[in-house]
Amino acid sequence: MSLSARVPSTAKTNLFVPAIYSAKVEEAVKSDLVAWGAFDTDRWSGELVKGDTLYIPKTNTVTATEVVVGSKANATNPLNTTGVTLTINKWYEAPVDVDDMTKRQQGANIETYAVNESRYGVSVAMDSSICDLFSSLGGYSTSAYGADGQTFTDDLALYLMQTLWESSVPKGDGQISWVVDPSTLVDMLKIDKLVAATYAASGGNLKNGVVGQSVYGGTVRITNNLTAASTGSYAVVAHKKAICGAAQIDKAWTWEYKDLHNTRYQAEALWGVTELRDTFGVPFYTRHA
């Protein structure tokens, strides 16, 4: 249904009725970024002040043997495990340019939104680089446990946790996470004992994609940045030390190009990620990508 005619009829066409541009901006929808913070990305950056490669040695357990009087036991070797190589090989930026005329004539604070979107763009790239490693954890190779498009069930959760426990993953340090997508959270909410034991206690609150200590001692983290399989995506239940990462550059800056009559708002990061302990994570398929 159209509006009725104006009286006088020229009130709009001759600019007596203005069109107003709002100073309030509807920002782009952003997914929760939870993967980078779920893994071992906070202790290695300080060791990579120089260079592009960090070699991380690993020890292994040794086996005790029965004492035999009169004989010398063979020495054991706790250094018989190949170390991990963390290579800084990802350098991303997200520049936004705003010209001087637009800055002077703007109705909204464009600079603020330029900075926010630039930082978010780089953060998505860092988070996604972690998610890309999920499908190779636990001895898988671009695959995952179960069938693509499967529904998350209590039996599935128990099997995945049993797999971790059998790999001697620490159980009580609060560093196990379920990094899943919205379809998996919906499936979890249909499991009575999980709802009763966890969501009822916490109020079912989601804060920045984190549900809290939810499924068998693991923090549930919801993201839309999982790597897609076909029907579903590659999710994971993993200990923090399953994956490690380090950032050499992680900054945002502003620079005025006076000769070009514009200002650049930019975030950038230089980082690397790799598996640290393969058996400390088990990937599984989600129901919907």
Percent of the chain with pLDDT over 70: 88
Closest CA to 137 of 239, 231, 38: 239
User: Quick one: average pLDDT of 63-77?
Assistant: 94
Q: Which amino acid is at 181?
A: D
**Separation between Cα atoms, residue 239 and residue 82, nearest integer Å:** 20
Across all residues in the chain, what is the average pLDDT?
87
User: Quick one: average pLDDT of 83-108?
Assistant: 91
Residue 161: alpha-carbon gap to chain centroid: 21
Of the pLDDT bands very low, low, confident and very high (cuts 50, 70, 90), residue 67 is very high
- Indicate whether 205 pLDDT > 60: no
Backbone φ and ψ of 164, nearest 5°: -65, -45
Domain boundaries, the chain: 86-285
Q: Residue 222 in contact with residue 131, Cβ under 8 Å?
A: no
pLDDT digit string, tens, across residues 170-185: 988 889 999 999 999 9
User: Quick one: average pLDDT of 48-74?
Assistant: 91
Q: Residue 23 in contact with residue 107, Cβ under 8 Å?
A: yes
pLDDT confidence of residue 194: 75
Backbone φ and ψ of 211, nearest 5°: -95, -20
pLDDT confidence of residue 49: 76
pLDDT confidence of residue 148: 96
pLDDT confidence of residue 276: 95
Percent of the chain with pLDDT over 90: 60
Q: Which amino acid is at 255?
A: W
- Indicate whether 206 pLDDT > 60: no
Of the pLDDT bands very low, low, confident and very high (cuts 50, 70, 90), residue 189 is confident
Q: What is the dihedral of CA 101, 105, 109, 115, to 10 degrees?
A: -10
pLDDT confidence of residue 18: 79
pLDDT digit string, tens, across residues 12-57: 888 877 776 666 666 666 666 889 999 999 888 777 778 899 999 9
pLDDT digit string, tens, across residues 114-159: 888 998 999 999 999 999 999 999 988 878 999 999 999 999 999 9
